[in-house]
């Protein structure tokens, strides 16, 4: 039997409640994952529920894996029978079983963001669209938005009216949908849409899946959108126990469809609902938590809850104001160095920001100070070029779709150019075949070098197909690497890191097979397509990330930089959404603050922001934190702050470097500025360098050692540079 004695009263109430409909308002750091896990354990161990009739829905692979591990640790083999998955993985399982009711094959392909962009690139080429007119991201948002709102291609044309730009977007939407249908592929939006369509059109199928589950639990319920909610609703009947967990104060994804009203109005839709508030925080210290509480109380539309903690500390939140972003970044780097000298680990420190561009100055400062860091949310493992190339060959062993064919031909140099591929695609369209089938059945259509290159490629594919027969998934990956030319190409190019990545793919396949002994290549590729968690370097390093990326994480020390009006809160969010936008920005700040366990620094600078196009002022959120929980260090403290920066940077021989740069520039030098471009040095003074830039910038004085300027060359004759003086 499991031990529930360590649960607090509210957690016990949530675990043992017998209510059919249960809403848990789980504050930040309140142990919700533990509650979710132990409730499943209690239902199986104490109440006799069959584990395979319980469904737990999460929204990230990381969360799903963590819950699986916890349940299996307690229940062993019984725990492995519980349906614990992301909502997209659940949809794939449903569709693999019943999509045939929609006249779609069960071996459909799930495409990811990279594949989506490949389709758009083809569409842009065919319709002569410049990606500067409609970025791929904007077009995918348009397509996803239409799908989410159940706007068909036909309806999109109607809504476009006579507007040329909208009609062009509708044309791309139509092309995109036709390509998916042609490949028997679904994107992530389709997975949910198709299940909803399946259930609505087939009552018997819907009832079958409703009867399959006696209990459904949903994590992060504050972040679901209307389609996800509709899917959950369709999975329940009058006998289903529904257990949802979330925190309206942490709803930060409305820009991608999340609606805080869904969790707020849950008790109106499922009656009677029992609501339990988990308000004991186990993560943060009292000053941090009290400051975050004071901030979020300024939001009107929320479930009132006063989080408390027993973690005492004398360290208040510290707010620091700087003259510019460079000084702000330099201080953050110096303080990280101080923390590490006081025995804190790099990996326990995070720097959060509202937007990605804010990392620029910080990255320079960290590099200069030789502080290891990783940007959380960089290129994901399965999206790296060499991994995508290998996966394309693996897909050619199964579904043989056109996207994989195109990518595989370009994975290594083969002499197959765009013209040849377009000829293949054209013939495929004329004969209603895939590009693979055209090369298999109509090679006589081609001639010369194109024919030879295609024949060699198809021969390599045949070798791979032959060698891969009756082999395990890891061995198949090895066959592809050996006979596709990928391993040889990376080895010859001495691409050590990329070579290690493809080797890791074999290990990844091995791990998959160990966990799923009966799984085949199709199921492995399905897992790869669904995998969405960021591949983060686990070595000891400071973590840099947007606040959105920080959701669900925690660190001993957190720096939140860029706490200025127009940046945080974001001006565009306020302009577009007014009061609702302000409340979401405040929720975002609340999430940022509650990532910290023991130390929290909020920083901002007063320099001019080219992004916001304004002189920066401190964020209003800083004034909303009660004075008893925060220490403000502003202009009056600059001397002390600058001395601390100087002292710490001395440890990195900054002064020695500065001496060597003191006389780096001379009158007559030509320099390059990152914003103003090329300029001519008029004079070098103690306060800086006077430089004449091209029109319209004119003459400016730039700090001597500022990283924005670099030496280009020495002008032979100042009179030859007349354009510098025409400002």
Closest CA to 603 of 396, 353, 419, 234: 353
Identify the CA nearest to 22 among candidates 256, 272, 255. Answer: 272
Secondary structure (3-state) at 85: strand
Q: Using CA atoms, how far apart are residues 321 and 617, in angstroms rounded to an integer?
A: 10
| Coil/strand/helix, residue 446 | coil
Residue tagged active-site, from 20, 23, 32, 177: 32
Q: CA 486 to CA 22: how far, in whole Å?
A: 52
What DSSP designation does 25 have? E
CB burial class (10 A; 0-12, 13-18, 19+) of residue 298? middle
132 is catalytic: no
Give the 3-state secondary structure of residue 291.
helix
Distance, in Å, from the CA atom of 432 to the CA atom of 641, rounded to the nearest integer, reads: 70
Query: Among residues 190, 220, 223, 247, which one is catalytic?
Result: 220
Beta-carbon-side half-sphere exposure of residue 588 (alpha carbons within 13 Å)? 25
710 part of the active site:
no
326 catalytically annotated: no
Asked whether the beta carbons of 459 and 386 are under 8 A apart, the reply is no
The 3-class secondary structure across 366-397, one letter per residue, is HHHCCCCEEECCCCCHHHCHHHHHHHHHHHHC
Q: Are 246 and 59 in contact (CB under 8 A)?
A: no
As a whole number of angstroms, the distance between CA 534 and CA 515 comes to 21
C-alpha to C-alpha distances, 415 to 405, 451, 455, 542, 550, nearest whole angstrom = 15, 10, 11, 44, 44
Catalytic residue selected from 13, 33, 344, 463: 33
Residue 193: CB atoms within 10 A of its CB come to 19
Burial class of residue 361 in the structure, from the number of CB atoms within 10 Å of its CB (0-12 exposed, 13-18 middle, 19+ buried): buried
Name the residue among 10, 4, 9 with its Cα closest to residue 22.
10
Among candidate residues 98, 115, 190, 219, the one labeled active-site is: 219
| CA distances to 22, 44, 63, 80, 238 from 39, in Å | 12, 9, 16, 15, 21
- Give phi and psi for 692, each to the nearest 5: -100, 115
Q: 631, 568, 632, 559: which is closest to 600 by C-alpha? A: 559
> In Å, how far from its chain's centre is CA 167?
30
Q: Which of the following is catalytic: 305, 384, 586, 595?
A: 595
- 601: β partners: 318, 559
Distance of CA 289 to the CA centre of its chain: 26
Which two structure tokens, joined as six digits, stand for 162? 């006579």
CA distance 727 to 724: 7
Point out the catalytic residue in the list 250, 285, 526, 648: 250
3-state helix vs strand vs coil in the chain, percent to 5: 55, 15, 30
Instruction: Based on the residue annotation, tell me whether 640 is a catalytic residue of this protein.
Output: no
Whether 347 and 540 have beta carbons less than 8 Å apart is answered as yes
Length of the chain measured in residues: 727
The answer to whether residue 219 is catalytic is yes
- Residue entry with tokens 């469809």: 257
Instruction: Write phi, then psi, for 236 (nearest 5 degrees).
Output: -105, 150
CA pair distance 489, 411, nearest whole angstrom:
9
CA distance 592 to 602: 10
Clarify whether 471 is annotated catalytic. no
Contact, 569 vs 623, CB < 8 A? no
Q: Which residues are catalytic?
A: 32-33, 219-220, 250, 595
């Amino acid at each position: 039997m499991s031990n529930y004695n360590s649960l607090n009263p509210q957690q016990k109430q949530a675990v043992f409640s017998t209510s059919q409909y249960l809403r848990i308002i789980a504050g930040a750091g309140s142990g919700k994952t533990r509650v979710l896990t132990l409730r499943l354990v209690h239902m199986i161990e104490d109440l006799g529920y069959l584990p395979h009739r319980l469904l737990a829905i999460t929204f990230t692979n990381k969360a799903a894996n963590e819950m699986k591990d916890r349940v299996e640790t307690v229940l062993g083999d019984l725990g492995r029978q519980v349906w614990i998955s992301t909502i997209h993985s659940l949809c794939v399982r449903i569709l693999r079983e019943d999509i045939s009711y929609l006249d779609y094959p069960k071996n459909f392909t799930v495409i990811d963001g990279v594949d989506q962009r490949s389709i758009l690139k083809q569409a842009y080429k065919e319709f002569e669209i410049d990606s500067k007119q409609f970025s791929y991201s904007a077009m995918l948002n348009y397509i996803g938005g239409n799908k989410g709102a159940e706007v068909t291609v036909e309806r999109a044309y109607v809504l476009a009216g006579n507007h040329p730009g909208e009609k062009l977007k509708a044309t791309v939407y139509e092309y995109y949908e036709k390509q998916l249908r042609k490949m028997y592929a679904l994107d992530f939006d389709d997975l949910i849409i198709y299940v909803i369509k399946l259930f609505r059109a087939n009552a018997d199928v819907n009832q079958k899946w409703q009867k399959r589950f006696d209990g459904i639990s949903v994590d992060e319920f504050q972040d679901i959108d209307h389609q996800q909610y509709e899917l959950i609703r369709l999975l329940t009947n009058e006998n289903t126990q529904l257990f949802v967990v979330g925190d309206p104060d942490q709803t930060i994804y409305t820009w991608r469809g999340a609606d805080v009203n869904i969790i707020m109005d849950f008790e109106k839709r499922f009656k009677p609902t029992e609501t339990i508030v988990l308000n004991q925080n186990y993560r943060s210290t009292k000053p941090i938590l009290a400051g975050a509480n004071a901030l979020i109380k300024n939001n009107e539309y929320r479930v009132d809850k006063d989080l408390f903690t027993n973690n005492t500390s004398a360290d208040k939140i510290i707010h620091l104001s700087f003259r510019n972003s460079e000084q702000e970044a330099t201080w953050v780097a110096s303080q990280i160095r101080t923390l590490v000298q006081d025995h804190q680990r790099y990996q326990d420190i995070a720097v959060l920001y509202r937007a990605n561009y804010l990392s620029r100055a910080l990255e320079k400062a960290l590099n200069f100070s030789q502080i290891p860091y990783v940007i959380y949310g960089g290129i994901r493992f399965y999206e790296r070029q060499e991994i995508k190339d290998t996966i394309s060959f693996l897909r050619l062993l199964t579904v043989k779709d056109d996207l994989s064919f195109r990518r595989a031909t370009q994975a290594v140099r083969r002499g197959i150019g765009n013209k040849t591929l377009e000829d293949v695609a054209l013939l495929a369209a004329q004969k209603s075949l895939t590009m693979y089938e055209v090369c298999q059945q109509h090679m006589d259509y081609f001639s010369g070098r194109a024919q030879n290159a295609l024949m060699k490629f198809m021969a390599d594919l045949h070798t791979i197909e032959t060698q891969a027969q009756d082999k395990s998934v890891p061995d198949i990956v090895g066959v592809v690497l050996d006979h596709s030319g990928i391993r040889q190409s990376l080895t010859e190019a001495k691409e050590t890191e990329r070579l290690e990545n493809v080797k890791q793919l074999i290990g990844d396949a091995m791990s998959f097979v160990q966990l799923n002994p009966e799984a085949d290549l199709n199921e492995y590729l399905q897992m790869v397509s669904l995998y969405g968690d960021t591949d983060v370097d686990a070595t000891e390093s400071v973590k840099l990330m947007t606040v959105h990326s920080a959701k669900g994480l925690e660190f001993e020390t957190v720096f939140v930089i860029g706490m200025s009006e127009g940046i945080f809160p974001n001006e565009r969010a306020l302009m577009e959404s007014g009061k609702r936008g302000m409340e979401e920005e405040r929720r975002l700040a609340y999430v940022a603050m509650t990532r910290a366990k023991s130390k929290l620094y909020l920083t901002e600078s007063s320099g001019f922001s080219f992004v916001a196009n304004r002189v920066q002022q401190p964020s209003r959120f800083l004034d909303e934190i009660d004075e008893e929980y925060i220490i403000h260090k502003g202009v009056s403290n600059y001397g002390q702050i600058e001395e601390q920066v100087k002292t710490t940077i001395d440890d990195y021989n900054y002064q020695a470097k500065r001496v060597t740069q003191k006389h780096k520039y001379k009158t007559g030098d030509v320099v390059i500025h990152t914003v103003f471009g090329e300029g001519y040095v008029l004079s070098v003074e103690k306060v800086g360098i006077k430089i004449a830039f091209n029109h319209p910038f004119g003459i400016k004085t730039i700090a001597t050692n500022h990283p924005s300027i670099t030496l280009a060359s020495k002008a032979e004759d100042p009179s030859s540079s007349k354009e510098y003086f025409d400002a």
